[in-house]
Amino acid sequence: MKDKNTPTGSGDNNQKGPKNRQSIVIFLVFMLASFMALNFIQNMMKDAGSKEIGYNEFIEMLEEDKVEKVEDTGLTWEITPRTQPVGNVEITYYTGKMDDEALLPLLKEKGVEITPYIQDTFSTLVWQVVWSLLPLLLIWVAFGYLMRRMGGGGMMGVGKSKAKVYIEKETGVTFKDVAGQEEAKESLVEVVDFLHNPERYAEIGAKLPKGALLVGPPGTGKTLLAKAVAGEAHVPFFSLSGSDFVEMFVGVGASRVRDLFEEAKKNAPCIIFIDEIDAIGKSRDSKLGGNDEREQTLNQLLAEMDGFESNKACLVLAATNRPEILDQALLRPGRFDRRIVVERPDLKGRVDVLKVHAKNVRLDESVDLEAIALATSGAVGSDLANMINEAAILAVKNGRQAVSQKDLFEAVEVVLMGKEKKDRILSAEERKIVSYHEVGHALVSALQKDSEPVQKITIVPRTMGALGYVMHVPEEEKYLNTKKEIEAMLVGYLGGRAAEELVFETVTTGAANDIQQATKMARAMVTQYGMSEKFGLVGLESKESMYLNNGTVLNCSDETAADVDSEVMRILKESYAEAKRLLSENRDCLDKIAEFLIEKETITGKEFMEIFHKVKAEEDGYQQEELIFAE
């Protein structure tokens, strides 16, 4: 009986077959090597023990009675001398045959043994031909085996499907192991139920969707959802990547598509999963240049999906993070009927994902997964899984028996910012600059009503390039940002540069990333969010890639683009001026918190706010004393 946990290639029903074929090929290769080695040695020995001489020299050897034996080989006389030189190799001579009537009487006179030439029989010729072709036969068998291993079926089977087949596969992943994607799970649960109970849907006239397209950013769990479908469906599950169809030769991909769907129809009901379908499903746009192999593969895929019969109950699942480049013919109803969006999880989703990945990890009583979820806004499932794993590694490294909240927060920083660079030692002046820079960010945030609270401030360098950073944790999950909140973000971004200029009367390169983030946000205010008084409610920019790099493209004239740049510069200048004003009015707080940070290197948000409130209380006391004294 076939093991359910073993993936196989399409049509592979014998587990011992590949091992037996491999043993045969190894034996044939060994025989070939032995034959060639033997033939090489024989030729070497023959070349070493045979020497060509002239016909006159041959006659002289006969007259001097130095020849013991002469053999007629058909084209030459092979001569064996009576005496051999000292050594292990026997020497023979050979010379060409000539029309000499005196040769035969001379041979008889000297008593030389004569071996006549005998014409080869038919069987001898056949054996010689077979023996000559045997090396070529062995080479052909070995080459065919290697082609099958590399190309999935040899030269004649290069168009065979490379899909791995999981028949009633127990992948160890079910819908219970997928968290934070309830809507996507709901859509796929319906499909799996349709495969299990098609008669319930057939009674009311419903038809099984032919295809479902999983779209979303990288790491959100598209492939994990497909594995969960394999674990739940209990039907044959064909899994492969879009790049498995594409080869150098035109027509191979289309052939593999045909073979895949033929196998699927034989095993219906079944599921076909194509990961990264954008490798073959790109839009057929001649303006960007064509690719005959990819386009033929796509055409064949479209034709096969149209050819699926509704009663066959075969479902095609596909995953991509670039839906905007897919061909429209692929996305129409009747092919991929459902688009299942696998988005970044929200706060509740992140908590559920953390619980799923932490179920086999020992946690202590201090762990609060909701606090970790709040601190990881925008993280995807793979990031969260990585954070849990990093926290477990840190706990073992620190000699603890269970993961603590401190380990989890440190893991969040490792994943987002990289590990601490303990070998990078900053000078006293640079430490002071970095300290004021980071405190500038934090203090500006604390002084504004619409900014997020500070969780941590550090001036310890990280492997991803940061010499220090301020970690903010929102009080609640937000899906919208007001204009005041965005303006507070801009002032916060520029608070570090403002602190440098205010304290040191110069600026450094440390604000490069801050300026980049602030510019991006200010440009979005003008071109996307309609928050500019000059342009109003005009959409001047559109997103180019929804799930990858969030790139945008301007949809306006060059003159308008220049005006956009001017408006962005105005917003940034106003934000920078506001940051300098806030820090100037709170210079004592800036100095004292920076001194404390230089000494401690890392301070928590609680310590930061304690110093802030203490300094503000002292300032308020001085102001009251001055007011009383003035009265």
Between vectors from CA 314 to CA 309 and to CA 320, what angle results, nearest 5°?
120
Helices (H) and strands (E) in the chain, counts: 21, 17
Task: Find tokens 């032995």 and name the residue.
Answer: 34
CATH architecture assigned to 53-115: 2-Layer Sandwich (3.30)
- Specify which residues 238 forms β-bridges with: 165, 272
Report d(CA 359, CA 376) in Å as an integer: 19
- CA 17 centroid distance within chain: 32
**What is the reported pLDDT for 290?**
55
Supply the Cα-derived Rg of the chain in whole angstroms: 41
Element (H, E) at 603: strand 602-604
Report d(CA 496, CA 576) in Å as an integer: 10
Contact 514, 493 (CB under 8 A): yes
* SS3 category, 308: coil
In total, the chain counts a number of residues equal to 631
Q: What six digits make up the tokens of 58?
A: 């041959």
**What is the reported pLDDT for 505?**
92
Count the alpha carbons within 13 Å of 79 in the hemisphere toward its beta carbon: 25
- Specify which residues 240 forms β-bridges with: 274
Give the active site residues.
438
Counting residues of the chain whose pLDDT is more than 70, the rounded percentage is 77
Between vectors from CA 521 to CA 218 and to CA 350, what angle results, nearest 5°?
35
Element (H, E) at 166: strand 164-166
Is residue 160 packed enough to be buried (19+ CB in 10 Å), middle (13-18) or exposed (0-12)? buried
Domain residue extents for the chain? 8-37+122-157, 53-115, 164-341, 347-417, 428-622
Q: What is the pLDDT of residues 84-143, one digit of tens each?
A: 766 556 778 878 777 777 888 888 887 888 887 666 566 666 666 666 666 667 666 666
**Chunked mean pLDDT (size 10), the chain, 631 residues:** 42 45 60 65 60 82 83 79 69 79 80 74 65 68 58 46 56 79 86 81 82 89 85 82 73 82 82 88 67 80 74 79 87 85 89 91 91 87 92 92 92 85 80 94 92 89 84 83 93 95 93 94 93 89 75 86 94 96 93 92 90 83 53 50
Q: What is the pLDDT of residues 221-263, one digit of tens each?
A: 888 888 888 778 777 888 888 888 876 666 778 888 888 888 8
Contact 279, 242 (CB under 8 A): yes
* SS3 category, 119: coil
DSSP structure class, residue 377:
T
The DSSP annotation for 404-452 comes to -HHHHHHHHHHHHH--B-TT----HHHHHHHHHHHHHHHHHHHH-TTSP
Task: Find tokens 């430490």 and name the residue.
Answer: 431
Element (H, E) at 318: strand 314-320
**What is the reported pLDDT for 493?**
95
CATH architecture assigned to 347-417: Orthogonal Bundle (1.10)
**What is the reported pLDDT for 556?**
87
Question: Where would I find the beta strands (DSSP E) of 53-143?
Answer: 67-72, 76-81, 92-96, 113-115
By C-alpha distance, which of 327, 218, 320 is closest to 275?
A: 320
**Three-state secondary structure of 237-281:** EEEEEHHHCCCCCCCHHHHHHHHHHHHHHHCCCEEEEEECHHHCC
Q: Matching CATH topology for 53-115 and 428-622?
A: no
Task: State the sign of the Cα–Cα–Cα–Cα dihedral 84, 85, 87, 92.
Answer: negative
Report d(CA 372, CA 361) in Å as an integer: 15
Task: Find tokens 């009901």 and name the residue.
Answer: 269
Report d(CA 217, CA 321) in Å as an integer: 5
**What is the reported pLDDT for 509?**
92
CATH architecture assigned to 428-622: Up-down Bundle (1.20)
Type of residue numbered 581: R
**What is the reported pLDDT for 119?**
65
DSSP structure class, residue 462:
B
Q: What is the pLDDT of residues 420-457, one digit of tens each?
A: 776 677 888 999 999 999 999 999 999 998 888 898 89
| CATH tag, 164-341 | 3.40.50.300
Contact 148, 157 (CB under 8 A): yes
